[in-house]
Structure 1
Amino acid sequence: MPDRLITHLRHVDLAVPDHAKQLAFYTGVWGLKPEHTDIGLTFLAAEGSPEQYVVRLRESDDKRIDLIAFGAASRADVDTLAGDLARDGVRLVTEPGDLRTPGGGYGFRFFDNEGRTVEISADVAVREHRTIEEGESIPVRLSHVVINSADPEGTRAFYERHLSFALSDTLMHPRMGEMMWFMRINAWHHSLAIARGPHPSLHHASFELRGLDEYMRGTGRVLRAGVEKIWGPGRHLAGNNTFSYFLDPSGNTMEYTTELETLDEDTWHPHVYDFSKPEVSDQWGTANAMNEFVAQRSFNDPDRGLFVAPPV
């Protein structure tokens, strides 16, 4: 098993131009719960997750990924990671210290190779959560985050070298070459994936539902609410997880998923899948075809916050 100090994905923080409209979507349609709210700032929890929140919304003129946050096992591990990154010339946004966000904890922030702000934290208080019951079509947890990168090979190398991410699988196209890399920090097939894109931006954030029935019920609920569906429902080959992709009011792609594969890290060997084969994109054959329209919608707007730390 790889030697790594990061344990899991905590949350993704988004700056959006219309906080009220986004909040109505994520609470009234998507199924998240507002736990901590201030003017233009909301922390949204998943009912089944011990994390204090899985999405943070901040109102801003600049649409951006404010932050991608990962957990570490201890304060000592946080200090070790911060020291290693600084010695390697990675630009720290904050030094390790006590966090002022819900749940407290101890952490620090830094810029990745393309300027996204990343946080590593430990000792965050566990949120009181519950088991999601049969038939409840609300998110259990934040499953993974996928980012678009103008330099995906460099971005993959950054996360492998500095944070000990491991490659699970790769998607390629006969004409375009390698296009997406699925990266893990634990036994889940991926917590982060990197897509080749025209600019750095959010590709999508994915939320795990309880099971297949809940996943389909959730997909149907979002469709009935009139939310624009981009792709799905279907089941990917890489990761073996289900997918339904929708656009939130700010044009960010959000996914419902379930049954993401867990791996034996000691024996796993990465595959290279040709996604021009329909069964790679969707094993079931139930989703609309992956085409240029679908791909372009997931390019998203260029991230306007690169190498600029969020104010909160």
Structure 2
Amino acid sequence: MSWGVISEMGPVAIRTSDFAQSVQDAQQILGLRETHRDGGVSYLAAADVHHELSYIESDIDGVESLGLIAGNGDALKEIRKRVEHEGFRIVSEKPARDGVEDGFTFVGPEGFAFEISIGLGREKAPAKGFGPQRYGHFNFHPQDHHGMVDFLQRVLDFRVSDVIGTGGSAGYFLRCNTEHHGIAVLKGRGTLHHHAWQVQDVTDLTKIGDRMHALGRELLWGPVRHGAGNNIACYYLEHSGNVVELYADMEQIYNDDREPVVWEDGEVWWNQWNSYVPDGFRSHGLAPTDLARR
């Protein structure tokens, strides 16, 4: 259920300087399947869709675009009208990747490119031994986080679920449907911090720790029980420098008009079990590519 022009989260596209390793990690650690390969682009998915993540072979590491699915063709037209009214540059008049019926890409605040689409192709997933159920959300750290939240509400109809802190450094969790958040916004260096994937239950979170251990690697953080969203989550670092989250038990909000939950300064919103956060956790992430200048 959604109320605005965006109905669900769409695919994330990432440029990677270690294409083979990025794809291998997505398959062997995260548990995605490669649905298609087109030259230097790998399309990957967990759900029964054409793709939820794409890696693009490159000489740089960076976030190419953040996908959002419009509710229908009329919603797609309305978003385009708003984008043009705001003066944001449209860099593609058609879908940038395969497997999408219609859409366009524009560069929003701080150089982040948003691909708005409809008609993401459906594709029956073969049986597999492990992996998430679907892609869920992303977390990013714009420099002007208040401005970014205003943009997400004004242009894309997102609603605020939780507010983190009451001072100038407040963060925000925003939703476009019943799931507690599709986008989290915290003040930072202007980077995408992580993309996140829903698993069936907490047992799947322990299994990813086992897979990391078998490869001689470690989880970055977790499992933890977040306060904002109430989900149980764990994180690992991928080769591009981006963080990947797996989560279960996310809060669902069925009251469209629910007032935001406000976490006062000093309240431990990031973990209900303890206040520990690994050193440097928020220093990871990917800056936008130079799509805005093409």
TM-score (norm 1): 0.86
What's the counterpart of residue 221 of structure 2?
231
Counterpart among 251, 263, 275 of residue 241 in structure 2: 251
Aligned amino acid, residue 185 of structure 1: C
Is 2:273 aligned against 1:284? yes
The secondary structure found in structure 2 opposite 1:229 is: coil
2:153 to 157, 160, 175: 160
1:293 and 2:276 aligned: no
2:124 to 121, 128, 131: 128
1:105 maps onto 2:96 in alignment: no
Contact 1:75/1:122 (8 A) holds in 2: yes
Aligned to 2:133: 140
Secondary structure of the residue aligned to 2:111 is coil
Q: Residue deviations 1:110-147, cap 9 Å, x none?
A: 11111111111112322213788xxx541111110111
> Which residue, out of 171, 176, 193, partners 1:180?
171
Structural mapping, 1:1-312, within 5 Å = 3-46=3-46, 49-95=47-93, 97=94, 99=95, 101-129=97-125, 137-172=130-165, 177-197=168-188, 199-274=189-264, 276-278=266-268, 280-285=269-274, 289-290=276-277, 292-296=279-283, 298=284, 300-305=285-290, 307-308=292-293
Distance 1:35 1:152 in 2: 35
Pair 50,10 (structure 1): closer, same or farther in 2 beyond 3 Å: farther
Distance 2:28 2:270 in 1: 30
After superposition, the Cα gap between the structure-2 partners of 1:210 and 1:301, relative to the gap in structure 1 and judged at 3 Å, is: closer
Shift of 1:301: 4.9
1:80 and 1:155 mapped to 2: Cα distance? 19
1:144 counterpart letter in structure 2: H
Cα RMSD (Å): 2.3
What is the count of residue pairs matched by the alignment?
A: 294
- Any gaps of 5 or more consecutive residues in structure 2? none
Q: TM-score, normalised by structure 2?
A: 0.91
Q: Given that residues 44 and 53 in structure 1 are in contact (C-alpha distance below 8 angstroms), is that contact kept between their aligned partners in structure 2? A: yes
> Structure 2: how far apart are the matches of 1:147 and 1:225?
28
Task: Give the residue type in structure 1 aligned to 2:288.
Answer: D
CA distance in 2, matches of 1:206, 1:223: 20
Paired amino acid for 2:88: V
Quick check: 1:17–1:62 contact (8 Å CA) kept in 2? yes
Instruction: Label 1:123 to 1:301 Cα distance change in 2 as closer, same or farther (>3 A).
Output: closer
Matching residue's letter, 2:125: H
Change (3 A) 1:13 1:302: closer
User: Which segments of 5 or more consecutive residues in structure 1 lack a partner in the other structure?
Assistant: none
Extract structure 1 runs of 4+ deviating beyond 6 A: none
Q: Distance in 2 between matches of 1:229 and 1:308?
A: 36
Give the AA of the match of 1:90: F
Identity within the alignment, %: 26
Code of the aligned partner of 2:24: A
Counterparts of 2:287 and 2:119, CA distance in 1: 34
CA distance 1:302–1:65, shift in 2 (3 Å): closer
Cα distance in 2 for residues equivalent to 1:188 and 1:165: 12
The alpha carbon displacement at 1:177 in A equals 4.6
Amino acid at match of 1:142: Y
CA contact (8 A) 1:188 1:260 kept: yes
